Amino acid sequence: MPEISMIQKYADYLEILNKKLDSYFEDQKEFIKCKAGCSLCCKSSYYPYSQLEYDYFRIGFNKNFNEKQREEINKKALQIFKDRKIFLKTNSNVFDFHYECPFLVNDSCGNYQHRGLLCRSHGLIYKDVDKPKHNAPHCMTLGYNYSDIYDPETKQFSEEKAVQLGFKARPQVYELSYSSIMKDAGEDFEFGDVRMLFEWVVMDIPNYEELIKSNP
Ligand code: SF4
């Protein structure tokens, strides 16, 4: 029997993960305000992608975008590359550099079916690795997910508020850190290096090293 490729295994895992996330979003739906056209979470972050996630993402990139659109995305990714270079002249923490995802088209993901792991789980509260605190989505403070039960004093969501306001659901903290989502895929998964999404795009551009050198 032919061996199943790693990409196929990853696609199979995504089906399992999607089902799990659907059930989590369903359970938390009273607190969730995600809807089509809301793209806050795609406008300012760093979007880590492993090699395997990007290999799968690239399939959609090549299929869903024509040559002209791909060139536009490549240009955006190169611009982000340059912006980060300037940012790093005065900031030492690379993770403080946030950018708008180059795949955001008219406030929607242009590569939705092939998006990465964290793009899928974003919006829920999850347990941070090795930290006592949990991570709620940033939009909680901006009137979106979990904002109804946000307590500005503690800067956290409040279970008591959920009770007071008569919500049937209670806010849940899920095991959805990046590393735990990867670990759940199984031991034989090879996710490979992790880079910011725009870096993978830039590295896919033929002669990208020369382009970067000639456009400092
Ligand atoms: S890949 Fe899609 S879902 Fe992920 S950040 Fe970019 S636009 Fe948003």
Say if residue 215's pLDDT is above 70.
no
Model pTM above 0.95: no
Where do the structural domains in the chain lie, given as residue ranges?
6-214
Structure confidence at residue 128 (pLDDT): 84
Counting Cα atoms < 13 Å in the Cβ hemisphere of 76 gives 15
Q: Which pLDDT band holds residue 213 (cuts at 50, 70, 90)? A: confident
Atom of ligand 1 nearest to the CA of 115: 1
Planar angle of CA 101, 106, 108, nearest 5 degrees: 65
Mutate to test the pocket of ligand 1, among 58, 64, 111 (most ligand atoms within 8 A of CB): 111
Q: Which residue type occupies 40?
A: L
DSSP string, the chain: -PPPPHHHHHHHHHHHHHHHHHHHHHHTTTT----TT--GGGTSB--EEEHHHHHHHHHHHHHHS-HHHHHHHHHHHHHHHHHHHHHHHH---GGG--B--TTEETTEETTGGG--HHHHHBTB-EEPTT-SSEE--GGGGGTSTTGGGEETTTTEE-HHHHHHTT-SS----BS--HHHHHHHT-TT-----EEEHHHHHHHHSTTHHHHHHH--
Each residue's pLDDT tens digit, 166-183: 999 999 999 999 999 999
Tallying the residues shown for the chain, one arrives at 216
Q: Mean pLDDT, to the nearest integer, of 89-96? A: 95
Among protein residues, the one whose CA lies closest to atom 8 of ligand 1? 42
CA–centroid distance, 115 to ligand 1, in Å, is 6
Distance, in Å, from the CA atom of 99 to the CA atom of 86, rounded to the nearest integer, reads 13
CA–centroid distance, 111 to ligand 1, in Å, is 7
Atom of ligand 1 nearest to the CA of 108: 7
Atom of ligand 1 nearest to the CA of 104: 7
* Mean of pLDDT over the chain: 94
Tokens of 72: 């536009």
Atom of ligand 1 nearest to the CA of 39: 8
Mutate to test the pocket of ligand 1, among 50, 80, 119, 197 (most ligand atoms within 8 A of CB): 119
